[in-house]
Structure 1
Amino acid sequence: MWKNRNVWIILSGELIAGIGLWTGIIGNLEFMQEKIPSDFVKAMILSVGLLAGILVGPLAGKIIDQQAKKRILVLAGAGRLISVVFMLIAIATGSVWWMIAFVVSIQLAATFYFPALQAAIPLVVKDDDLLTMNGMHMNVATIARVSGTALAGVILVYWSLSSLYWISIIAYGLLLIFTFMLRIDEGEGTEAAVKAEGAKGGFMEVFPVLKAYPAVGMTLVMTLIPLLFLGSFNLIVINISEIQDSASIKGLIYTCEGIAFMIGSFAVKRIALKWRTTMILFFFASMVAVAEFLLFFAQSQIATLAAFTVLGFSLGCFFPTAMVIFQKQMPKAYHGRFFSFRNMLERVVFQVVLLATGAFLDIVGLQVMVIVFGVISISMTTVFFLQMKQRKIQLEEPVIAESIIPVKSI
């Protein structure tokens, strides 16, 4: 796998672009903290971008399955580059409306970029390397997150807020150059047959495929559990910073969570040798709830960092495992539409969680909210586990299917 130039291009591009992405995210939080006092209004602004992604998701999935993945990645990368200009205008004018334009445009670009990238990875590595590649890709993204947030913290001390977005522009420009260097063969052999038979259908064809592959459907539903924490992540970080009256805690939280994520994504390959896929998913989904309960002690820096460390390690084990199930068991003809549907579903959940988080923080405060979220997470994990046992779904059994929906489900 490490002799494959596409692997190095994808990972290098992710590192550079991730640094730009996270410097921009910290810039967004800083801009909103200055301009918008209400947590609920902050959530409303962030949710506007998610709504745009939800509306475009079905079209994005269909286009990704019908067009070359590289072409989609290039166009989406160019869109991300252009979107940063809106944020520079927002800073220059002090206008929240220009920030909303930035949030919407960058989410639209992401609606095409990430499903196309997830669909491209199985085309550039062998099936046996998917767990390693997914883990490394998420690790690189996490390194970029830690580096980007640390860099943003230094820049905000010594330079202006707009400097963060100039770094984003440089990073997205480099990503575009790396994307042009990709070589993805989609026109020969099996992949051509897959595209001919499956890619012409509409977005709604994802649903009978999910019914035919219940392991994929169950894993998709399982990924909603961590979203309860992830959807509220940035607002929680801001709130903890205010509770502890510490600006530096933001960087410490992202660093602890990021390092723990990397350790988890390395450890999961060894864990997978001893634990079944089902145990990995359900155990680490439960640990997300434990992290939420720990935030009841948000006044304590040690408890806060412990909570985000548990979260990071759990996600580092959970998401690479789930991604392998999606990439191996979902027919390749439906990858674009499936990953677009997944991203659209995540955006819906993110939007609901964002609005709920903003309202909870304004009305009852962080401590009550994290207890409610923890109870919801552990309840969902229990219900999904019982459903899986009742329906006798086996997550460990890979299904090899490339072109058509099977007659019988697993």
Structure 2
Amino acid sequence: MWRNRNVWIILSGEMIAGLGLWTGIIGNLEFLQEKVPSDFVKALILSIGLLAGIIAGPLAGRIIDQSKKKTILIVAGFGRLFSVVFMLLAISTGSVWWMVAFIITIQLSATFYFPALQSTIPLIVKDDDLLTMNGMHMNVATIARVAGTALAGVMLVYWSLASLYWVSMLAYALLLGFTMFLRIDEEKKGRGENGQKEKRGGFIEVFPVLKAFPAVGMTLVMTMIPLLFLGSFNLIVINISEIQDSSSIKGLIYTFEGIAFMIGSFVVKLITKKWKTTVILFFFASMVAVAEFMLYFADNIVITLAAFAVLGFSLGCFFPTAMVIFQKQMPKAYHGRFFSFRNMLERVMFQIVLLSAGAFLDILGLQTMVIIFGMISLSLTLLFFIQMKRRNIILEHQVKAEPAAEII
């Protein structure tokens, strides 16, 4: 795998783009904190981009399955690059509306980019290398997040807010350059095992495929549990910063969570040798709830950082495992539409969680909200476990004795 030039191009591009992405996100939080006092209004502004992604999701899935993945990645890269112009205008004019335009365009680009990237990975590495590749890709993204947030913190002290977005623009331009060097063999794309051209229908065709592969459907539902925390992540970080009266805590939180995520994504390969996939997913979904409960003590810096470390480690074990199930058990002909559907579903959840968190923070406060979220996460984990046992769904992705499980 490590001799594959495409692997190095994707990982290098992710590192560079991640630096730009996270310097921009810290810039967004600073801009919102300065211009918008209400948490609910902050949530509304952030949710507008998610709504645009939800609307474009079905179209994105169909286009990704019908087009070359490299072409989609390049066009989406241009969209990302162009979107930064709106944020530079927002800073120069002090207008939140330009920020709204920025959020919409960058989310639309992401709606095409990430499903295309997730569909590309199985085309460039062998099935046996998928867990390693997913873990490394997430690790690189996490390293970029830690480095990007640290860089943004330093830049905000010495430079202007606009400088963060110039860094983002440079990073997105470099990502575009890396993407153009990809070589993806898509000659067999759109053909079944008999070599016949497959008919590519609409986005709705994902649903019968999910019924035919219940393990994929169950895993997809399971990934909604961490989104309760992730959807409100940025608002929680802003609130903790205000509770502890410290702007530096933002960078520390991202750093602790990011490092713990990287450790988890490395350790999960060892864990899979002793634990079943089912145990990994349900145990670490429960640990996300534990992290939420720990934030009841958000005024204590040690417990706060420990909570985000628990979250990061849990996600580092949970998401690479779930991604392998998606990439191995879902037929490749449906990858574009499936990953677009997954992204759209995540955006719907983010939308609901973001708006709910904004309202809870304004009305109830952070400590009450995290207890409510923790109870919901534990309840959902138990409910999904019961459903899995009742329907006799097997999540194991390492079973190789039944190669017939594919739709032709």
TM normalised by structure 1 equals: 0.97
Alignment CA distance shift 1:403-1:378 (3 Å): closer
Measured after TM superposition, the shift of residue 200 of structure 1 is 1.2
Aligned equivalents of 2:141 and 2:285: distance in 1?
A: 21
Gaps of 5+ in 2: none
SS in structure 1 at match of 2:272: helix
CA contact (8 A) 1:333 1:402 kept: no
Match of 2:33 in 1: 33
Deviation string for 1:66-124 (max 9, x for gaps)?
00000000000010000000000000000000000000000000000000000000000
Please give the alpha-carbon distance, in whole angstroms, between the structure 2 residues aligned to 1:324 and 1:229.
Answer: 22
Instruction: Tell me what 1:369 maps to.
Output: 369
Q: Distance in 2 between matches of 1:299 and 1:37?
A: 21
Provide the residue aligned with 2:152 in structure 1: 152
What code does the residue aligned with 2:159 have? W
Q: 1:196 to 1:121 in 2, by over 3 A?
A: farther
Looking at structure 1, the residues matched to 285 and 346 of structure 2 have their Cα atoms a distance apart, in angstroms, of 16
Contact preservation (8 Å) 2:190, 2:197: no
Per the TM alignment, residue 193 of structure 1 is displaced from its structure 2 partner at its CA by: 3.5
Distance verdict in 2 for CA 1:202–1:27, change over 3 Å: same
SS of equivalent to 1:273:
coil
Task: Give 1:259's aligned amino acid.
Answer: I
Whether the 8 Å contact between 1:198 and 1:334 is mirrored in structure 2 is: no
C-alpha separation between the residues in 1 aligned to 2:29 and 2:90?
13
Tell me, yes or no, if the aligned pair for 2:241 and 2:249 is still in contact at 8 Å: yes
Map residues 234-253 of structure 1 onto 2, 5 A cutoff.
Answer: 234-253=234-253
Q: Is the 8 A contact 1:197 1:403 kept in 2?
A: no
Deviation at 1:196, TM superposition (A): 5.9
Query: Does 1:294 find its partner at 2:294?
Result: yes
Aligned equivalents of 1:234 and 1:299: distance in 2? 17
Q: Does structure 2 conserve the Cα–Cα contact (< 8 Å) formed by 1:261 and 1:316? A: yes
Q: Which residue of 1 aligns with 2:395?
A: 395
Unaligned runs of 5+ in 1: 406-410
* Equivalent in the alignment of 2:63: 63
Question: CA, structure 1 residues 297+323, in 2 after alignment: closer, same or farther (shift >3 Å)?
Answer: same
- Alpha-carbon distance change, 309 to 196 in structure 1, aligned in 2, over 3 angstroms: farther
Q: Provide the residue aligned with 1:312 in structure 2.
A: 312
Distance 1:197 1:34 in 2: 55
Counterparts of 1:85 and 1:183 in 2: how far apart (Å)?
30
1:73: which partner in 2? 73
Cα gap change, 1:401 to 1:17, in 2 (>3 Å) = farther
- Residue 274 of structure 1 aligns to a residue whose secondary structure is coil
Q: Give the alignment partner of residue 404 of structure 1, picking from 388, 397, 407.
A: 407
Amino acid in structure 2 at the alignment position of 1:241: S
Percent identity (aligned) = 77
Q: CA deviation at 1:401?
A: 6.1
CA distance in 2, matches of 1:364, 1:281: 31
Question: Number of matched residues?
Answer: 404
Equivalence map 1:326-337=2 (5 Å): 326-337=326-337
Counterpart residue number, 2:90: 90
Q: Is the 8 A contact 2:191 2:198 kept in 1?
A: no
Q: Which amino acid aligns with 2:293?
A: F
Partner of 1:408: none
Letter in 1 for 2:37: P
Asked whether 1:186 is paired with 2:183, we answer: no
Instruction: Render the CA deviation track for 1:274-299: whole Å, top value 9, x for unaligned.
Output: 00000000000000000000000000
Structure-1 separation of matches of 2:299 and 2:79: 41
Question: Aligned pair in 2 of structure 1 residues 389, 198: CA closer, same or farther (>3 Å)?
Answer: farther
Ranges of 4+ aligned residues in structure 1 off by more than 6 Å: none
How many Å apart are 1:402 and its aligned residue? 8.5
Distance 1:74 1:401, change over 3 A: farther
- Which residue is 1:43 aligned to? 43
Q: Is the CA contact 2:20–2:169 (under 8 Å) kept in the aligned structure 1? A: yes
The equivalent residue for 1:208 is: 208
Q: For residues 288 and 135 of structure 2, what CA distance do their matches in structure 1 show?
A: 19
Q: For residues 275 and 116 of structure 2, what CA distance do their matches in structure 1 show?
A: 31
Listed as ranges, the matches of 1:2-41 within 5 Å are 2-41=2-41
